């Protein structure tokens, strides 16, 4: 190593200082171009979805690379056909957020306030739940839901879909709440607040950002759910939008503009969150996965 330093000290020196110094202008713009190219490749399928949804395509006619004659006809048809399914998805997702936060917030608080071996074990078990294959859960829930009359029902789907949100929300919010100074909560006690009041009017407002992140992701999980929708519904009565898309895929439907328009509608929450709630998204991706 030291020999290398001696042989070309200047080169080493300059590169080493790079993080502090401005990189050469050309390099930065070249990187921008590469970055945009990466985005074009990575996001092409999303572009293609929107592009095709705006063109009337039937059968084997090839789509244009750009929607010169953009038409919303596919969306209009699809909203008619899939409208009830969109409403179902929305109700299931909102219900799942409410249920997940109601269960996960106090749990995260409890786990954040009493560090110790017991809590470590509980946290590990919660992490493990995230690794249990959904099909294993679905196999068992189908007979149980059948007995309880929860098949083909929105409450049934809310309960099942919360299984993705609750463990995630507990881990995410606990990590955040662990950083709340004990003094703040004790101050509330000194003022005569009950344990619940301290939780409600101190811990929850302070943890607002973590709650929003957990809520947004829980919404996305439930909105995107496919496996429980597929296994726990048997009639068209209750049919989330993901299942609506699957029906198109498994039938011999050749009307790809309709399929893409449905897919586009089902993508709205993800796209909206990415545009409107970037900072929450970034913290959610890392927060839920690695402790």
Partner 1 sequence: MSVGTAQAGVNGVVAGPREVVRRRRRTLLTFTVRWIYFLPAAVYLALFFGYPIVKNITMSFQHYTTATFYTGEAPWVGLSNYIAVIQSQVFGTTIVNTAIFTVGCIVGQFGLGLLLALFFKQRFPLNGLLRSLLLLPWLLPLIVSSAVWKWILDQDSGVLNEFLVGLHITPGPVSWLTSPSLALGSVILVCIWVGIPFNAVILYGGLQEIPTELYEAAALDGATGWKAFRHVTWPLLRPVTDVVLVLGVVYTLKVIDIILGLTDGGPANATQTIATRSYQLSFSLFDFGQGSAMGNVLLVVSLIFAVIYLRLSRRSSNV
Window 235-274: residues binding partner 1 (CB under 8 A): 242, 245-246, 248-250, 256, 259-260, 262-263, 266-267, 270-271, 273-274
How many Å apart are CA 86 and CA 84, to the nearest integer? 5
Among 86, 224, 233, 238, indicate the residue that binds partner 1 (CB under 8 A). Answer: 224
56, 67, 84, 134: residue in contact with partner 1 (rule CB under 8 A): 134
101: closest CA among 268, 221, 238, 225?
A: 221
Residue of the chain from 56, 63, 67, 94 that contacts partner 1 (CB under 8 A) = 63
Cα-trace Rg, the chain: 25
User: Exactly one of 61, 184, 187, 276 binds partner 1 (CB under 8 A); which one?
Assistant: 61
Of residues 71, 73, 209, 278, which one binds partner 1 by CB under 8 A?
Answer: 278
- Pairwise CA distance, residues 221 & 163, whole Å: 9
| Residue 160 in the binding site for partner 1 (CB under 8 A) | yes
Candidate residues 145, 220, 238, 280; the one interacting with partner 1 per rule CB under 8 A? 220
Single out the segment in contact with partner 1 by CB under 8 A; choices: 68-76, 79-87, 100-108, 205-213.
Answer: 100-108
The Cα–Cα gap between 81 and 262 comes to 10
Interface with partner 1: number of residues (CB under 8 A): 116
180-218 burial code (b ≥16 CB/10 A, e <16): beeeebeebeeeebeeeebbeebbbebbeebbbbbbbbb
> According to CB under 8 A, which one of 79, 204, 227, 255 is a site residue for partner 1?
227
DSSP class of residue 138 equals H
**Binding of residue 45 to partner 1 (CB under 8 A):** yes
Report the C-alpha gap between 248 and 41 in whole angstroms.
26
> Nearer to partner 1 by C-beta: 76 or 285?
285
| Inter-residue contact 262 to 78 (CB < 8 Å) | yes
Note whether 276 binds partner 1 by CB under 8 A: no
């Amino acid at each position: 190593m030291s020999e290398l330093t001696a042989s070309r000290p200047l080169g080493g020196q300059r590169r080493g200082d790079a993080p502090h110094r401005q990189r050469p202008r050309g390099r930065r713009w070249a990187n921008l171009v590469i970055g945009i190219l990466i985005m074009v490749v990575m996001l092409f399928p999303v572009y293609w979805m929107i592009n095709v949804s705006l063109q009337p395509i039937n059968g084997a006619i090839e789509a244009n690379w750009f929607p010169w004659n953009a038409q919303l006809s596919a969306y209009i048809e699809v909203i008619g056909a899939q409208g009830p399914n969109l409403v179902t998805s929305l109700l299931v997702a909102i219900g799942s957020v409410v249920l997940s936060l109601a269960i996960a917030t106090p749990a995260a608080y409890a786990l954040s306030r009493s560090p110790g071996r017991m809590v470590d074990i509980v946290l590990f078990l919660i992490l493990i739940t995230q690794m249990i294959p959904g099909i294993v859960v679905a196999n068992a829930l189908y007979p149980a839901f059948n007995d309880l009359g929860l098949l083909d029902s929105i409450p049934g789907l809310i309960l099942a879909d919360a299984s993705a949100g609750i463990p995630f929300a507990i881990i995410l919010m606990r990590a955040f709440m662990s950083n709340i100074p004990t003094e703040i909560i004790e101050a509330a006690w000194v003022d005569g607040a009950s344990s619940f009041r301290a939780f409600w009017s101190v811990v929850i407002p302070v943890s607002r950002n973590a709650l929003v992140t957990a809520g947004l992701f829980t919404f996305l999980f439930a909105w995107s759910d496919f496996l429980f929708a597929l296994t726990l519904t048997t009639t068209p009565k209750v049919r989330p939008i993901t299942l609506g898309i699957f029906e198109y895929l498994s039938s011999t439907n050749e009307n790809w503009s309709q399929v893409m328009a449905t897919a586009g509608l089902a993508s709205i929450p993800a796209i909206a969150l990415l545009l409107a709630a970037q900072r929450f998204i970034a913290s959610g991706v890392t927060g839920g996965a690695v402790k």
